[in-house]
């Protein structure tokens, strides 16, 4: 039975990897559990599925899951949306973890929403995607859910390794290649070392009449090193380092006529004054200690993560006409943008071990962030893109901020009877923040500096009873709350009283009913969930009395249904289907400057979304196996961000067909693949900056991509 569905249950693993009787184990509730026993909606993307998809980015696999969507403008700049919980803005609504490490910023002052860490999926055990608020165990920013990357742990039993080389070409674009390798080295019976590395070129496919062809190409490279040692049978220590660098030379945007919505210069063409590179570096350091006291286990996780971004944004469409008017020569404008994030996290928790009537987890959490956003607006020659003399530093902004959070949490499952469980938990969090806004430059009216402070206290909870009519079926209900921290606004003390000095946290409350079931041999799996999410005190970017600030305003609701089915007619064939219907909309007007009114759909949420597909493998001999698969992913109609001037724009639906076929012979695998077989055009984002002619900037999915890979495993 080959690899199957990208989602919840057994079709995600092959018969070779998931023998009959084995269970899929996840750590969604910060303890190892069978996936079937987790009383919430969760999808698992297995290592084999990632391999079959030849996945390198979020957009290659995450959007194939129910009610999951990606808003992306450029490599490294992406926003995750789960269950429609999105109104734009810069604070993340989905939390991201790498093993035990929360990565990315918890504050709205550091562009956390649009700098979601897009970890290369090579050498991962799996990716867990939890839908709905996860505030009890994962805390801040899990309003809509959580994405958790689970890496492969070093093994002490045997030496192992893997390597892969591949090449791919993009229609209307160029050709690129990648290489990946991993090695596992036992150092003794109780110690091991694992290392992996990757390098890939990202092919370009966007042209610019003045800047050249395929201007959005780039490269991504990095690796991971992990040590594991067990000094005693009770103690395990693991230390790991993850590094990843993203180098993108341009955006994935096409210029569209604002009236006809047709390409202004050609299907995959934009017109900019200068290149827009985006460079992002991730660093994640973690040390985890596990100690088994017998009936109780201790876990201590110490983490330090950094994110560094330097980027250039062409702002000519907004500031170019103004500069041209004042100076009498054709001018454009650009913004040099920088972001630094430094985050230390310590979590300690105790949990019961083994099967007990009451299984519990209690813990404490501390995190500290130091972030700084910098921007420099300057004028450029509209013909050459070079800096225009005397127009550097028109507006200079520095926004250093600090974030500190303490939290305590507890979660427990009471096995009331063989057929009834009750899981409940709570978390109390306190955070304090400070920010300084320093501005200078001709258009800023000279030098100024203002600061602000804030603090929040938030309690989140979850309650989930589960009914087990038989060993293979779970029927659960869940009520859970999530939150996103508030923060300070750095405004002048002379500003009118109506200008908020700080903004409060926003919260979501999720009501969910679901069922999970499978046959004894896991040849048939089914999961369905229905949910309703109420979102209150939404954080929004707004102009209040002429001041640009974060504020709270409006409320929203998201309701829908998610379904996943896996069918395996025989050991060689796996069929899968998953889909979602999500209706997300404002239930109260947003501030006038934002533009959203009651009833408006939340941005970039497709009401309908589904994936259909199958995987097949056939032994040709004792040492040779043919395998292949195909899937069709449909993304329904969506609407762009709220716009007080022009209103939301409707984005058409699109479908994408992916396929792969290849041969396995012993330790080797040769595979051919195609993504976006029909060369569909799908718009995933409308940008703020367009071209000098007033056209819209629309980010599009990658055109048809054909590739070939060769891999070996030991």
DSSP codes, 11-79: GGS-TTTS-TT---EE-TTSS-EEGGG-SS-EEEEEHHHHHHHT--SGGGTGGGSTTEEEEEEETTEEE
8 A C-beta contact, residue 257 and residue 216: no
Tell me: the pLDDT tens digits for 1-60? 333 333 333 333 322 233 344 567 899 889 888 999 999 999 999 998 999 999 999 989
Q: Return the C-alpha torsion angle 676, 679, 683, 687, nearest 10.
A: 100
Cα 516 to Cα 527: distance, rounded to the nearest angstrom = 4
Tell me: the pLDDT tens digits for 302-327? 999 999 999 999 999 999 999 999 89
For CA atoms 387, 393, 395, 398, give the dihedral sign: positive
Cα 316 to Cα 272: distance, rounded to the nearest angstrom = 8
Sketch out the chain's domains with CATH numbers.
10-713 (2.40.170.20)
pLDDT recorded at residue 566: 94
Q: Which two tokens stand for residue 404?
A: 């500190």
pLDDT recorded at residue 10: 31
In this prediction, the residues of the chain whose per-residue pLDDT falls under 50 are 1-21
Q: What is the CA radius of gyration of the chain?
A: 25
Q: Which two tokens stand for residue 84?
A: 């429609």
pLDDT recorded at residue 8: 35
Cα 350 to Cα 300: distance, rounded to the nearest angstrom = 9
Q: Which two tokens stand for residue 343?
A: 């985050």
């Amino acid at each position: 039975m080959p690899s199957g569905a990208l989602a919840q249950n057994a079709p995600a693993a092959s018969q070779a990897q998931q023998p009959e009787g084995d269970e899929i184990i996840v750590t969604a509730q910060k303890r190892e559990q069978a996936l079937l026993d987790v009383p919430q909606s969760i999808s698992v993307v297995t290592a084999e599925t990632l391999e079959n998809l030849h996945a390198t980015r979020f957009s290659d696999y995450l959007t194939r899951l129910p009610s999951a969507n990606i808003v992306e403008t450029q490599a490294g700049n992406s926003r995750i949306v789960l269950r429609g919980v999105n109104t734009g803005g810069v604070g993340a609504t989905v939390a991201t973890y790498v093993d035990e490490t929360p990565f990315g910023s918890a504050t709205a002052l550091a562009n956390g929403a649009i700098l979601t860490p897009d970890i290369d999926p090579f050498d991962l055990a799996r990716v867990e995607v939890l839908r709905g608020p996860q505030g009890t165990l994962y805390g801040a920013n899990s309003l809509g859910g959580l994405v958790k990357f689970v890496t492969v742990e070093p093994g002490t039993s045997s030496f192992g390794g893997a390597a892969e080389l591949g090449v791919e070409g993009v229609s209307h674009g160029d050709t690129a290649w990648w290489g990946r390798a991993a090695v596992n080295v036992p150092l003794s019976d109780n110690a091991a070392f694992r290392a992996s590395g990757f390098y890939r070129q990202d092919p370009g496919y966007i042209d610019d009449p003045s800047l050249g062809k395929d201007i959005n190409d780039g490269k991504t490279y990095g690796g991971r090193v992990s040590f594991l040692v067990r000094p005693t049978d009770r103690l395990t220590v693991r230390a790991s380092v993850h590094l990843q660098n993203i180098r993108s030379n341009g955006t994935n945007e096409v210029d569209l006529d604002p009236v006809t919505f047709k390409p202004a210069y050609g299907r995959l063409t934009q017109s900019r004054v200068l290149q827009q590179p985006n460079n992002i570096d991730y660093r994640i350091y973690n040390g985890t200690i596990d100690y088994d006291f017998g009936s109780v286990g201790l876990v201590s996780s110490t983490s330090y993560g950094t994110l560094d971004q330097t980027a250039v944004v062409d702002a000519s469409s907004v500031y170019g006409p103004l500069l041209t008017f004042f100076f009498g020569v054709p001018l454009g404008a650009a913004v040099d943008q920088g972001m630094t994030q430094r985050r230390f996290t310590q979590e300690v928790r105790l949990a019961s071990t083994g099967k007990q009537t009451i299984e519990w987890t209690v813990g404490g959490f501390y995190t500290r962030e130091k972030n700084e956003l910098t921007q420099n607006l300057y004028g450029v020659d509209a013909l050459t893109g070079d800096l225009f003399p005397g127009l550097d530093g028109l507006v200079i902004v520095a926004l250093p901020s600090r974030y500190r959070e303490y939290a305590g949490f507890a979660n427990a499952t009471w096995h009331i009877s063989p057929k009834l469980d009750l899981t409940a938990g709570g978390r109390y969090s306190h955070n304090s923040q400070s920010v300084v806004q320093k501005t200078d430059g001709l258009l800023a009216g000279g030098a100024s500096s203002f600061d602000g402070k804030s603090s929040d206290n938030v309690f989140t909870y979850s309650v989930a009873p589960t009914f087990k009519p038989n060993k293979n079926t779970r029927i659960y209900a869940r009520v859970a709350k999530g939150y996103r921290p508030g923060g300070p606004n750095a405004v002048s003390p002379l500003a009118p009283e109506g200008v908020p000095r700080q903004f409060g946290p926003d919260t979501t409350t999720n009501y969910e009913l679901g069922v999970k079931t499978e046959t004894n041999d896991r040849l048939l799996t089914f999961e369905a969930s229905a949910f309703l999410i109420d979102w209150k005190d939404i954080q929004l970017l707004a102009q209040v009395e002429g001041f640009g600030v974060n504020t709270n305003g409006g409320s929203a609701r998201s309701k829908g249904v998610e379904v996943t089915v896996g069918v395996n007619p025989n050991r060689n064939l796996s069929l899968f289907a998953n889909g979602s219907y999500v209706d997300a909309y404002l239930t109260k007007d947003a501030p006038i400057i934002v533009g959203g009114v009651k009833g408006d759909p939340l941005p970039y949420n497709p009401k309908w979304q589904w994936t259909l597909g199958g995987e097949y493998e056939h032994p040709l001999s004792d040492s040779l196996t043919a395998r292949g698969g195909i899937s069709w992913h449909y993304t329904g109609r969506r609407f762009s961000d709220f716009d007080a001037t022009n209103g939301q724009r409707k984005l058409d639906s699109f479908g994408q067909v992916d396929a792969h076929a290849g041969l396995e012979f012993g330790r080797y695998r040769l595979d051919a693949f195609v993504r976006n077989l029909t060369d569909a055009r799908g718009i995933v984002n409308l940008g703020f900056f367009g071209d000098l002619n007033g056209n819209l900037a629309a980010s599009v999915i990658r055109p048809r991509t054909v590739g070939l890979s060769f891999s070996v495993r030991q």
